[in-house]
Amino acid sequence: MDLSCIISSGDLELYVLGMLSSEDAYKIEQLAKLFPEVQAELYAIEDALLNAANEVEESPSAAVKDQLFNRLKSLPVGNDATTSLPGAIPLSDGHTTAKIIPMYQPNRSNSGLIAAAVIGVLLAIGSIAYTFINNNRQRVQMAAMQQQMDSLQNYAAAQQQQLAQYASDMRFYRDTGYKMINLKPMPNRPKDILAQVFWDTRTKAVYATNISLPKAPEGKQYQLWAFVNGKPVSAGLFDEKTGTVEQMKTFNQAEAFGITLEKAGGVSSPTVSEMYVLGKV
Amino acid sequence: MTDLLHNEDELLRRLKLYEEQAYRFLYDHYSKALFIVIKQIIPQQEIAEDILQETFVKVWQNIHTYDGSRGRLYTWMLSIARNLSIDRTRSKEFNKQSKTGALQENVYTSAPTEESRVTDVGLKKVLNSIPEENARLIDLAYFKGYTQEEIAKILVIPVGTVKTRMRSAIASLRKLIKPNV
């Protein structure tokens, strides 16, 4: 995924400064979780802001820190009585606890109201819990989708490449300028093996493709031979990969083409007993 | 505590466990930046220090409600510090105290005027080291806490432009970064 547009958009700066809507901020948060580059950029922005502040010759006095930590030690941990919104309730004087005055005294006559309030609160908690669970699920889903998208993209690219290959190979069958020679199995070979040679009658270039030759064993390679005036001449090593057409050596004349299985790297004259397929021009 | 630097998840985990070391890191790392923002609203040193303390108390008390969807931990602390400062300017006690003091107008309620000029000497020095246009944007958004819309109004530019200009403004700050500050 190309992240440069996100990084250069200015949204990350606004996020760190707290200037984004919560919806947009949530998106940035998710991106930062998925992509370390985004996370790194956020830290760099934060560092720039902190650094700018550090340049200012103004500081809280050293006593503030000691006072603060003495105070924190006396505080209960996980104080849930305070509001969840930052700064929504002013701590009028942090050293004294505000007296809590109930809005009204509950009595029998408004028990219905209380029940409704309780139901309301339960519903709210339920919906918050649901949103929370949903958010987590969405996070996981988003990561999975990203992965899926990447693999689909790779698959599409591979398919496209193969399609282009096919389109290019089709000319051998369509263009009558190519003479197609079917190389058929020798009597001692399986009946279903086949390779094809295309000989360009204009340029004399020779191409070959494997249709159904068996996979060459380790350390062995197929080699194509042209029979010129009764003598075999190497046309080159032959990739056994099916579905592709390979260009071999060029021959001005030949009576037949054949393929033998030879040691890897090829040989100068064919091992006749290892002849697999042969086809007359 | 360097293992907490650029590792917000770990920092947050430890803050939620109320580990003193984590809070000390938080204080060492962020207190000065928060203090300067507070001082933009409350110029009196003692009151600003008090609000700084309140900010960290609030962080301690509300750390479990912080979830990152409102911005980074730093962003969240900035908004706590700003809100506490503004609340203080509204309190009767404060208004009595600062009658003779040089209190700036509340940034959220005042109309965007010449008010937004940089008055702080120390801040001026920093902002002088980057292009003027960028300095103004940094001052308004970071030190004064204006919204995108407010900044657009003050600078008479489209809201969308605030975003792109903010990026280049912070880029100029980034150039100032010295290694190992």
Q: Where are the domains of chain A?
A: 4-55, 178-280
Q: Using an 8 Å CB-CB cutoff, list chain A residues near B54.
A: 91, 94
Which run of H or E residues covers position B15?
A: helix B8-16
> Whole-model pTM?
0.53
Among the partner residues A9, A53, A82, nearest to B61 by beta-carbon distance: A82
- How far is residue A50's CA from residue B77's CA, in Å, rounded to a whole number? 13
SS (H, E, C) A154-190: HHHHHHHHHHHHHHHHHHHHHCCCEEEEEEEECCCCC
User: What phi-psi label fits residue A213: left (phi over 0), alpha (psi between -120 and 50 degrees) or beta?
Assistant: beta
Select from B78, B173, B157 the least CA-distant residue to A18. Answer: B78
For A157-204, write each residue's pLDDT tens digit: 777 777 777 777 778 887 888 899 999 999 888 888 889 999 999 999
Lowest mean pLDDT: which of A114-128, A189-203, B157-171?
Answer: A114-128
Mutate to test the interface with A, among B173, B176, B181 (most CBs of A within 10 A): B173
Looking at the complex, report in whole angstroms how far the Cα of residue A101 sits from the nearest Cα belonging to chain B.
Answer: 20
Q: What is the pLDDT of residue B25?
A: 95
For B27-55, write each residue's pLDDT tens digit: 999 999 999 999 988 888 999 999 999 99
Domains of chain B: 2-97 (1.10.1740.10), 114-174 (1.10.10.10)
Q: Using an 8 Å CB-CB cutoff, list chain B residues near A91.
A: 54, 57-58, 84
User: What phi-psi label fits residue A162: left (phi over 0), alpha (psi between -120 and 50 degrees) or beta?
Assistant: alpha
In whole numbers, what is the pLDDT of chain A averaged over residues? 81
- Give B134's contacts (C-beta < 8 A, 6+ positions apart): B165, B168, B169, B172, B173
Token pair in block for residue B16: 């939620």
The answer to whether the beta carbons of residues B5 and B29 sit under 8 Å apart is yes
Among the partner residues A14, A46, A69, nearest to B166 by beta-carbon distance: A14
For A124-150, write each residue's pLDDT tens digit: 888 777 777 777 777 777 777 787 777
Looking at the complex, report in whole angstroms how far the Cα of residue B100 sits from the nearest Cα belonging to chain A.
Answer: 22
Q: Using an 8 Å CB-CB cutoff, list chain A residues near B31.
A: 60, 64-65
